[in-house]
Amino acid sequence: MYIGVDCGTQSTKVVVLDVEGERILGEASRPHRLIEGENGRREQRPGEWVEALRGALNEAVARAGIDSRAIRAIGVSGQQHGMVALDARGEPVHPAKLWCDTETAAQNAELVARLGGEAGCLDKLGLVLQTGYTASKLAWLRDTRPDAYHRIDSLLLPHDYLNFWLTGERVTEAGDASGTGYFDTRSRRWREDVFAEIAPELDPPRVLPRLIEAHEPAGKVRPELARELGLANDVLVSSGGGDNMLGAIGTGNIRPGLVTLSLGTSGTVCAHSPEPVVPDSAMVANFCSSNGGWLPLVCTMNVTSATTRVRELFGLDLASFGERLASAPIGAEGVTVLPFFNGERVPMLPEATGSFLGLTSVNTTQANLCRAVVEGATFGMRYGLELLGGLAEGASQIRLIGGGAKSPVWRQMVADITGTQVICPEITDAAALGAALQAAWCHQREQGVTLEQLCTRLVHLDERSLADPDPASVAAYQGVYARYREALAERHAVA
């Protein structure tokens, strides 16, 4: 039995995977609070992640109906880029600033300039710094909270922090480290010279976690914690990784030819590559994967976070929102939404706000506004897919995950807007499954078990979710997408 954990923006989810039985035996989740403020501040308290993990793990094991001592390993997926700065006692010096925090836009722009612009970033890091990466968060803390900054003893990412709580070890792996902004994604090593530009007072060997390979264990669950959770004394904790990396594993996207698209709080599009990618666009992140390869990735910041705002504005539950969505025509009768409530990363508009365009006395209906915000979020994903170029053009299938993937109307919309067949894994919360699969790989690797074998056996596709692009709808969306691109150009000068 193996445990998979996904610490996301809204909640921590836990699944219990029976590898021999090839099924999920139990799952549970616990919510987190989001601290929001002016200027794009979005933070969380790491202690809430710990309590959510503790509660969800106990409930998932109880639902599985197993003896907790049968668990052999735990894998942890975490929201990328979050800054968890700890003091010498292992306590946070400040709430964790999250991936969707855009308060550090000025610091990011300054860092990009100091590193030599986009060309300098690519030369040093293999990618271009974005607002939201960990680097600008650290620079912000130095600029605005010097007392907290000078107490830093170690810098971790969210999944690293949960591994630290589980094992007492301060380690990380290349996939999640790729999103820090001070890691060379081609050579898979810390760039201490870049780190010195951001935090000259901090000693990299002391404050940065030790790098391990994706197949290596982070450690074993601490004895006192194992007793508390009812676990055996030798439970391994795998390296874990960022939610995008573990989500790719959970969809079986560990070889070329597939695309994983996530309709979560944020949106991501990624494709596996066996070698580093030199992107044509600064918005494509040449991240490492959490299974030894690379995972070129594009991230948008407003997907279900945007649709939820409109749904809640009208006081609709999910079923009613889905009915409104389905009842409106393609193009929402001329309504266009640029859903940049959280700013945006792709296109690179960290200080943007949401826009509702084309409203008239005739087309301003609940149904059209619901349809338009979903279309706007999906057009952002197509924009990102186009940036991946050849890695995505040859893809025969998009594997769709995240909360939005549960909507049949949205699945068909993705197929029609991208012109590509769409299918969901049976488990659309793929990051937790990917974490459990990585844990099983870590535990069974010495017996010759490969991650490919585990994915082949345990990543099951839901044939009922299959959506083929409808030629008439594909044609209709070409014009609607062109309208979206025109709105981007007019309001934000985005080509």
DSSP character string of 382-397:
HHHHHHTTHHHHT-SE
Distance (Å, rounded) from C-alpha 295 to C-alpha 399? Answer: 15
Residue among 133, 136, 171 nearest 155 (CA): 171
pLDDT at 428 over 80: no
pLDDT at 275 over 80: yes
Better-predicted residue by pLDDT, 382 or 256: 382
Helix H, strand E, coil C: the string for 47-99 is HHHHHHHHHHHHHHHHHHCCCHHHCCEEEEEECCCCEEEECCCCCECCCEECC
Asked if omega into 347 is within 30° of 0 (cis), the reply is: yes
In degrees, rounded to 5, the angle at the alpha carbon of residue 490 between the alpha carbons of residues 486 and 492 is: 110
Better-predicted residue by pLDDT, 466 or 273: 466
pLDDT at 392 over 90: no
pLDDT at 395: 79
pLDDT digits (tens, 9 = 90+) for 118-176: 999 999 999 999 998 999 999 999 999 999 999 999 999 999 999 999 999 999 999 99
Q: Compute the average pLDDT of residues 62-72.
A: 97
pLDDT digits (tens, 9 = 90+) for 450-464: 999 999 999 999 999
243 is catalytic: yes
Amino acid at 492: H
Work out the mean pLDDT of the chain and round it to a whole number.
95
pLDDT at 117 over 80: yes
State what percent of residues in the chain have pLDDT above 90. 89
pLDDT at 394 over 80: no
Check: pTM over 0.95? Answer yes or no.
no
pLDDT at 129: 94
pLDDT at 161: 98
pLDDT at 69 over 90: yes
Do residues 474 and 416 lie in contact, with contact meaning Cβ atoms separated by under 8 Å? yes
At 281, the pLDDT band (50, 70, 90 cuts) reads confident
Quickly list DSSP for 135-196.
HHHHHHHHHH-HHHHTT--EEE-HHHHHHHHHHS--EEEHHHHTTSSSEETTTTEE-HHHHH
pLDDT at 282: 82
pLDDT at 47: 97
Place of tokens 């070890």: 169
Distance (Å, rounded) from C-alpha 228 to C-alpha 218? Answer: 20
Of 6, 101, 184, 243, the active-site residue reads 243
Q: In this structure, what token pair is assigned to residue 286?
A: 């040449």
Distance (Å, rounded) from C-alpha 225 to C-alpha 221? Answer: 7
